[in-house]
């Protein structure tokens, strides 16, 4: 059993390596487009940081967060968002096209997990560059805050960023599955992508109520980058916040997997 699992994992890694090489070849065929998107994303990131700087010319604190704490939060939010873009965004927005054109029929016949294939077949290399820039901003903000995170804090930060990435992936994968009935679902998918902006705001800035509850337990945007950032800046009020983010990540992934399997059972192919 253990040997079979290892063999399956090795096979998936080998397949992912092949898809990675194919993505690199494709990206390098259009170098100007590759560089342009890096610049556009960096300008958008700089605009977010500039907006926060403007806000802090009128106040010293937002929800108990200082200027450089919020800069670190924005950097964390952008880091998770760029990792999501690097691995998943292009693939998830193409699911509706796979269904409409019949390419999904072909993928279902391949001897590999279909969810793995539709989720990871393409890579956005420029997003890796932007994710690295976000890490630089996090590091600089930490320097301005005189932070000296321990190994445990850094590991916790990495694990929680992974949980936040899982939340984003699972929820957008779930929305992409709507295309089994609507054929086109790009509007829904990109609508969710725009909600990422909520993740760069301190959760304590929102008053208790239906809005905060929804974006904590329904669409947990307020957990995705707030909890990892709190680990670094020492604002974590309770370990339950970490448990909540990890629990929501597991729940979102489980729901998306159940919905995917249910959708496939009711899928009748593009030719039907």
- Whether residue 54 is contained in a domain is answered as yes
- Whether residue 3 is contained in a domain is answered as no
The pLDDT tens digits for 102-153 are: 888 888 888 888 899 899 888 888 888 889 999 999 999 999 999 998 999 9
- Whether residue 155 is contained in a domain is answered as yes
- Whether residue 26 is contained in a domain is answered as no
- Whether residue 9 is contained in a domain is answered as no
The structure's pTM equals: 0.88
Tokens of 203: 């959760």
pLDDT in tens, the chain (272 residues): 555 667 777 877 887 777 778 777 777 776 677 677 778 778 888 888 888 888 888 888 888 899 999 999 999 999 999 999 889 988 988 888 888 888 888 888 888 888 998 998 888 888 888 899 999 999 999 999 999 989 999 999 999 999 999 999 999 898 888 877 776 666 676 777 777 778 888 888 888 888 888 888 888 888 999 999 999 998 887 889 999 999 999 999 999 999 999 988 888 775 55
What pLDDT, on a 0 to 100 scale, did the predictor assign at position 230? 94
- Mark residue 63 as left, alpha or beta (left: phi above 0; alpha: psi -120 to 50; beta: remaining): left
Domain total of the chain? 1
- Whether residue 2 is contained in a domain is answered as no
What pLDDT, on a 0 to 100 scale, did the predictor assign at position 98? 85
Residue 192 belongs to what domain range? Answer: 31-265
- Whether residue 19 is contained in a domain is answered as no
- Whether residue 228 is contained in a domain is answered as yes
Please compute, for residue 52, the number of CA atoms within 13 A of its CA located in the half-sphere on the CB side. Answer: 22
């Amino acid at each position: 059993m253990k040997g079979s699992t290892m063999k399956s994992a090795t096979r998936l890694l080998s397949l992912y390596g092949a898809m990675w090489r194919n993505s690199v070849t494709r990206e390098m065929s259009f170098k100007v487009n590759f560089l342009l998107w890096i610049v556009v994303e960096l300008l958008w990131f700089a605009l977010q940081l500039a907006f926060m700087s403007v806000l802090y010319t009128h106040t010293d604190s937002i929800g108990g967060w200082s200027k450089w704490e919020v800069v670190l939060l924005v950097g964390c939010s952008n880091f998770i968002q760029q990792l999501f873009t690097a691995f998943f965004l292009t693939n998830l927005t193409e699911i509706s096209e796979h269904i409409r054109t019949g390419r999904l029929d072909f993928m279902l016949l391949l001897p590999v997990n279909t969810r793995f294939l539709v989720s990871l077949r393409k890579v956005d290399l420029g997003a890796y560059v932007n994710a690295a820039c976000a890490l630089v901003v996090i590091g600089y903000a930490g320097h301005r805050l005189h932070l000296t995170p321990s190994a445990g804090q850094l590991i916790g930060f990495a694990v929680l960023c992974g949980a936040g990435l899982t939340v984003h992936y699972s929820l957008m994968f779930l929305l992409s599955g709507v295309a089994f009935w609507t054929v086109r679902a790009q509007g829904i998918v990109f609508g969710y992508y725009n909600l990422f902006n909520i993740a760069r705001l301190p959760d304590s800035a929102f008053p208790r109520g239906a809005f905060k509850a929804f974006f904590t337990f329904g669409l947990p945007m307020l957990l995705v980058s707030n909890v990892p950032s709190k680990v670094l800046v020492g604002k974590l009020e309770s370990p339950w916040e970490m448990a909540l983010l990890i629990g929501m990540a597991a729940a979102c992934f489980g729901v998306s997997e159940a919905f995917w399997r249910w959708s496939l059972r009711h899928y009748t192919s593009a030719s039907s």
